[in-house]
Chains A and B, each alone.
Chain A
């Protein structure tokens, strides 16, 4: 068989690059024609001289490769209106207008698709255990993971805040992280800048804005690259983080943190980035205005959702977690 191997991923997130290659031996051809679905764009091509590649609509014609036996390409994809779509890439090895070898690949491109059901005009909070009725239904109809951020907007009577124990934990944690990172910088002088950025993200995760997520993506690439080559650095960073959390986790908070870990994971591949956000409750009804933002695992922003105002009425004074206002997924948790 002249074709030794060929590759295109079977599935990928919309927006992710699709790498592809073909390896062959003992194969004479005068061109390789690559046909791809609309929505895919050639991003990189390897082992092809600059002047030996012609682009015609959704077809790439490679006249010659530099070293016989290998062609590598990278196609870029983008977020599409459809939450899932199948695309194809075909390679034809042509000699004298005859296709000698043909390879056909298909890839399934998917994304998260977070939707909100009918938003209730009023939510009632009752009893000491803060039962809420009705709830806001939030679903992920797509196959991709969604990281969801819920926040109150200016003008909302009720504003998101953190319980006192979380505020105290964060104050002490920030000091501790600064201490740990400073110590790590002494051991790993070559990674001083990377450690400073790590400290920044540890105490203040990125907002879901294009610019901040792009910076965050660059940081993650650099961190992953260093972690993959410096085992001792990876171990030291993980230990420093664990210690900073442990040192500041009072016994009482440990169970709370475990509980909130579970609360931060919704059904249908939804992750809630802030399970500690609370709003105050009083016997007087108050208006709540919420904004939901979500990103996928490529840090791509999904369309932000501004919910219609909701009246929150309670039967006693207190506070309630914002998460309790939602039903996460079509299946009841």
Chain B
């Protein structure tokens, strides 16, 4: 297992710890770390108790890609304002903390350091993610989802809390059999005739195809127009519509969905998807190092919706 994520996390926390401790103004009481996948940030929260004198020179945090620093004091849990300023100008970016502007009577301060970062490489190193690839089931298909931490000990020794939030999972939900099953063979025949007719340049053969099409239409004159039908079918794959056929449960939650890519097709004739990609998320922590979830594809409901799109005018 690659532990590069662990060393990278501790590199960040060590820099912050060193600045705080070398100031000799604070004692560190506890440390929490959060990886926020959705926001693309890491958050290092340090509870410090001030030593007697806060009349020291400013602390400079400039070797880390900080987005913001927030300070809360206790008791009262009120946000402390005015003690943090951004380093302006020049090539150096960072923040300055002026301890003289902190309330000297406070028992503790909570410093929250928000760090810009690509979260996915950390998630890859720290979390084993698995999900069902192929599913079975008539009425509905259930895809299992599972996340577990690869390493606890190193974090437990140093941190009070470690939270990995909104860990992403993409599952490709197979919809091909349902469309195929519900699309009537005679409408497929009609598609074939129209396609042949549109490409045909021979007048006699074109006339014969027209006749074949008219004959087919006369059998069911009130049948829905094929172009409208294809358009209504397409609407089922819009994320806003398709999400109603998905339930994500247990310790996971639904995030979004989109049409899945199909790289297996020799010719890229992308009309309707064969898979819908569903993005769901879960959280892990030192207290909850493993999470189980399920993604239910309501196959029967989707088949009903296809039938409705095919028949309803």
Contact = CB atoms under 8 A, between A and B. Distances in A.
A72 interface: yes
B259 interface: yes
A288 interface: no
Contacts of A258: 191, 230, 271-272
Contacts of A296: 134
Interface in A212-252: 216, 220, 224-229, 231, 234-235, 238, 241-242, 244-245, 251-252
A66 B133 contact: no
Contact of B199 (A67, A165, A261, A275): A165
A241 B136 contact: no
Contacts of B148: 19, 21, 46, 72
Interface stretch (B18-26, B79-87, B96-104, B170-178): B170-178
A331 B224 CA distance: 27
B266 A72 contact: no
A38 to B, nearest CB: 22
Contact of A265 (B180, B259, B261, B279): B180
Interface string A104-145: 000000100000000000000000100000000000000111
Contacts of B12: none
B261 to A, nearest CB: 7
A2 to B, nearest CB: 16
Contacts of B136: 11, 110, 143
Given A9-B144, A224-B170, A262-B188, A252 B259 contact: no
B299 interface: no
A144 B277 CA distance: 19
Interface string A186-229: 00000000000000011001100000000010001000111111
Residue from the set B150, B198, B258, B264 with the largest chain A CB neighbour count within 10 Å: B264
Given A205-B266, A271-B274, A11 B132 contact: yes
A160 to B, nearest CB: 10
A107 B124 CA distance: 26
Nearest to B289: A70
Contacts of A254: 271
Contacts of A72: 128, 148-150, 289-290
Interface string B260-298: 010111111111101001010000001011101000000
Given A67-B156, A238-B258, A205 B263 contact: yes
B263 A228 contact: no
B185 A333 contact: yes
A273 interface: yes
A19 B146 contact: yes
B303 interface: no
A54 interface: no
A23 B180 CA distance: 43
Interface in B127-173: 128, 130, 132-136, 144, 146, 148-153, 156, 168-170
B120 interface: yes
A5 B191 CA distance: 52
Given A228-B169, A242-B270, A264-B265, A255 B198 contact: yes
B266 A273 contact: yes
A170 interface: yes
Contacts of A60: none
Nearest to A143: B136
Contacts of A255: 191, 194-195, 198
A253 B130 CA distance: 39
A238 B144 CA distance: 26
Given A17-B130, A110-B136, A265-B177, A274 B170 contact: no
Given A16-B133, A44-B128, A70 B290 contact: yes
A256 interface: yes
A241 B66 CA distance: 36
A47 B279 CA distance: 28
A257 B269 contact: yes
Contacts, number: 187
A274 B267 CA distance: 7
Most buried by A among B149, B170, B205, B268: B268
A179 to B, nearest CB: 15
Contacts of B191: 255, 258-259, 262
A192 B26 CA distance: 46
Given A9-B132, A238-B259, A225 B267 contact: no
A144 B264 contact: no
A291 interface: no
Interface in B18-36: none
B72 to A, nearest CB: 29
Nearest to B192: A259
B264 A205 contact: yes
B195 A256 contact: yes
Given A228-B120, A271-B274, A66 B152 contact: yes
Contacts of A231: 256
Given A7-B290, A9-B144, A216-B263, A269 B177 contact: yes
Most interface-central of B133, B146, B263, B269 (chain A CB within 10 A):
B269
A234 B258 contact: yes
B168 A229 contact: yes
A37 B122 CA distance: 33
- 4 tightest A-B CB contacts, nearest first: A252-B198, A274-B266, A228-B168, A256-B195
Given A12-B133, A227-B277, 6 more contacts: A12-B132, A228-B169, A255-B195, A259-B191, A264-B265, A333-B185
Interface of B: 1, 37, 40, 118-120, 124, 128, 130, 132-136, 144, 146, 148-153, 156, 168-170, 174, 176-177, 179-180, 183, 185, 188, 191-192, 194-195, 198-199, 205, 208, 230, 256, 258-259, 261, 263-272, 274, 277, 279, 286, 288-290, 292
7 contacts: A11-B135, A46-B149, A72-B290, A169-B267, A173-B268, A229-B37, A255-B198
